[in-house]
Amino acid sequence: MANIYEKTTTAPVNIAVVKYWGKRDTSLILPTNSSLSVTLSQDQLQSKTTIRVSKDFKATRLWLNGIEETNVENNQRLQACLRATRLLRKEYENSLAISGHVNIPPLSEWNLHICSENNFPTAAGLASSASGFACLVYTLAKLFELPISATDLSRIARQGSGSACRSMFGGFVAWEMGDNTDGSDSQAVQIAPETHWPELEALICVVSDLKKGTSSTEGMQHTVKTSELLQHRISKVVPERMRGIKEAIKTRDFKKFAEITMRDSNQFHAVCVDTFPPIFYMNDVSRAIIRLITEYNNSGDETYKAAYTFDAGPNAVIYAQKENIKEIINLLAHYFPSTLDLNKEYFNDHAGLFSTD
Ligand code: PMV
């Protein structure tokens, strides 16, 4: 029997167009509202994780971008994901044993060495925890050979980082908040695959690659405790937006998609400012990008050509249809040239957009 088993997988980043912000249960990570995101191409942003498991390893260890994390035993979110996948592996080992298999390696009992890296700035509001935890859980599932669906895995990834549950699928993904107190119905479902709307593209504008000042965990708990606007958002606004955005995706209605996306980003940041003391994630450059996209949208006919969205950081993601991407790249390259570097490889490969002109 071999002593070391190893698996490597990658997972994509997702960027929400209806944002998750607020937990009703902080240990199970159950949200106060449903959310919906678009999974980016893995050529753009991705996490890559290699996990080894061996009966000879003395401890479970974790390296993030080449640096070893010291407090692995006390990392509750990591431990929740390990516990859940090991339990499933144990059940699987038992079921194999019952059906007469012999020499099944007891991987559920052995220590792990986990190496994870991102091909983009970590913790700068570019959803690194989403792709990171999705990749961790997916790699474990492959290593442990778990016979389990992506939605089942999404409930485990959710316990690492809420938004990670949505990175279990490509395309357009909803995180349905669920009603149950045990989290058994708080999970991700694919609304449509990426092939449903191949004209939709995402541009990533890195305004700053520094680690954000207030983590999303800390920020959303302050918001839940202090913001009155959040209550209005949860009860009155998000349910209607979830219906609207699903309809916009289904019918590939970019105008509707763009309006909901921009309004929801605006309201998420309004809720952050309504937190007491307030949280500011956007900076002057972020706001200048909003003004530029607003001008650009209003300069043409009645349709929108671009939609901005900002997570818990100053960096913008611009959604647009392929036919307008070149114009938008030129516009951003004119006013904010240094923000576009992350897109170069992606668009060079796909459309040669940075090599022309
Ligand atoms: O999953 P977390 O804890 O990193 O929270 C992510 C929150 C936002 O990115 C701001 C919104 C979202 O839905 O992804």
Query: What CATH number does the domain containing 337 carry?
Result: 3.30.70.890
Which of 169, 196, 223 marks a domain boundary?
196
The reply to whether ligand 1 has any atom less than 6 angstroms from the CB of 214 is no
Burial 245-284 (b: 16+ CB within 10 A, else e): bbebbeeebbebbbbbbbebbebbbebbebbeeebebbee
pLDDT of residue 305: 96
191 and 216 both lie in a single domain:
no
Ligand 1 centroid to Cα of residue 53, in Å, is 30
The reply to whether ligand 1 has any atom less than 6 angstroms from the CB of 312 is yes
277 and 307 both lie in a single domain:
yes
pLDDT of residue 126: 74
Under 8 Å between Cβ of 113 and 300: no
Ligand 1 centroid to Cα of residue 277, in Å, is 20
pLDDT of residue 58: 97
- Note whether ipTM > 0.90 here: yes
- The CATH number for 170's domain is 3.30.230.10
190 and 210 both lie in a single domain:
no
239 and 341 both lie in a single domain:
yes
Ligand 1 centroid to Cα of residue 219, in Å, is 10
Joined tokens for residue 284: 């002057």
162 and 237 both lie in a single domain:
no
C-alpha 89/C-alpha 309 separation (Å) is 39
Which tens digit of pLDDT belongs to each residue from 99-135? 999 999 999 999 999 999 998 766 556 777 899 999 9
The reply to whether ligand 1 has any atom less than 6 angstroms from the CB of 162 is yes
How far are the Cα atoms of 57, 104, 134, 137, 165 from residue 161, in angstroms, in the given order?
A: 27, 32, 9, 11, 8
The reply to whether ligand 1 has any atom less than 6 angstroms from the CB of 264 is no
Strands 111-118 and 61-64 come out as: parallel
276 contacts: CB under 8 Å, gap ≥ 6: 222, 226, 227
Atom index in ligand 1 nearest the CA of residue 125 equals 9
Question: Is residue 21 in a domain?
Answer: yes
Burial 157-179 (b: 16+ CB within 10 A, else e): bbbbbbbbbbbbbbbbbbbbbbe
The reply to whether ligand 1 has any atom less than 6 angstroms from the CB of 160 is no
The reply to whether ligand 1 has any atom less than 6 angstroms from the CB of 35 is yes
Q: Whose CA is nearest to atom 8 of ligand 1?
A: 311
Tokens 């050979």 correspond to 145
Ligand 1 centroid to Cα of residue 116, in Å, is 20
Picking from 180, 179, 190, 58, the residue whose alpha carbon sits closest to that of residue 111 is 58
pLDDT of residue 210: 79
The reply to whether ligand 1 has any atom less than 6 angstroms from the CB of 16 is yes
224 and 176 both lie in a single domain:
no
pLDDT of residue 352: 72
20 and 127 both lie in a single domain:
yes
- The count of domains in the chain is 2
Under 8 Å between Cβ of 32 and 16: no
Task: Detail the DSSP E strand segments found in 61-212.
Answer: 61-64, 67-68, 111-118, 172-176, 187-192, 200-205
38 and 99 both lie in a single domain:
yes
pLDDT of residue 356: 41
pLDDT of residue 173: 98
Which of 196, 214, 241 marks a domain boundary?
196
The reply to whether ligand 1 has any atom less than 6 angstroms from the CB of 163 is yes
pLDDT of residue 2: 65
Ligand 1 centroid to Cα of residue 91, in Å, is 32
Which of 196, 212, 237 marks a domain boundary?
196
The reply to whether ligand 1 has any atom less than 6 angstroms from the CB of 122 is no
pLDDT of residue 148: 94
Q: Which domain holds residue 220?
A: 200-350
| Segments of the chain with pLDDT less than 50 | 356-357
